[in-house]
Structure 1
Amino acid sequence: MYFAKITNYHHPKNRLQEYLQKQLRSLECITVENPEEFKKHLETSVHRANGKFPRCRPLQTYYHKAYTEGDLTCGISELIQFSLYTQRGVFDPSTMSAATMPGEAAQAELFV
């Protein structure tokens, strides 16, 4: 599982970029099961938008590994970049012990 987050965004300069920006802002903070499907969705969106606005310079998508192992970076040139973060675990407060959670007693000992 991956978490999609917009990590870089440029303001649209033409109608093609405005059109894509409206479509892709809805992908902010979603869970992605298959990053290849996310990539195909971006490519399809850009291909349709390039056809709809032929007078604008066509945009291209990119997709590559991020600096952190397991994470991915994808986006559309000159417009938006998404980082797909790998889910590294699930937060479960019931599994945390009292030793890992400082309580009032631990703070009181500091002032003795």
Structure 2
Amino acid sequence: MYFAKITNSYNAKNRLQEYLSKQLKSLECLTVEDPKAFKKYLETTVHKANLKFPRCRPLVSYLHPAYSSSGFSAGVSDLIQFNLYELRGRFEPTQSPAPVHPNEMVQTSLFS
């Protein structure tokens, strides 16, 4: 399981980059099962955008292993970069305490 975080995003220079920037910013704080599936999603999104805006210079997506940890670095050309951080533990929901009736509450004090 990986956590996707945008680390760099640059200003859009044309309509293709504006369109992709809006599409890819929705991936912020997303949990990802497989980094290769994340790259495949980036590839298909970029390919569709390149076809939609043929007059702009086409962009490419990438996925590289991270230098310092067991995560990955992914992105689209010079537009946006994601880091995929590996989650080490499992997040479990916290158990809510049993409800207390207002008449049963005891007020405590530092002074006796």
The alignment's TM-score, normalised by the length of structure 2, stands at 0.78
Kindly provide the CA deviation profile for residues 1-53 of structure 1, in whole angstroms up to 9, marking residues without a partner as x: 00000001101000000000010010000100111110000000000000000
2:22 is matched with which residue? Answer: 22
Moved over 4 A (4+): none
User: When the two structures are aligned, how many residues end up with a matched partner?
Assistant: 93
Post-superposition offset of 1:78:
1.1
Summarize the Cα distance change of 1:51–1:91 in structure 2 as closer, same or farther, 3 Å threshold.
closer
2:72 is matched with which residue? Answer: 72
Within 5 A, what are the aligned runs for 1:99-110?
none
Aligned sequence identity (%): 65
Within 5 A, what are the aligned runs for 1:51-90?
51-90=51-90
Post-superposition offset of 1:91:
6.6
2:36 is matched with which residue? Answer: 36
Q: Distance in 1 between matches of 2:11 and 2:65?
A: 25
Post-superposition offset of 1:69:
3.0
1:45 is matched with which residue? Answer: 45
Q: Which has the larger radius of gyration?
A: 2
Equivalent position amino acid for 1:12 in 2: A
Query: Which structure 2 residue ranges, 5 or more long, are not aligned?
Result: 93-112
Give the root-mean-square deviation of aligned CA atoms.
1.5
Equivalent position amino acid for 1:20 in 2: L
Query: Which structure 1 residue ranges, 5 or more long, are not aligned?
Result: 93-112
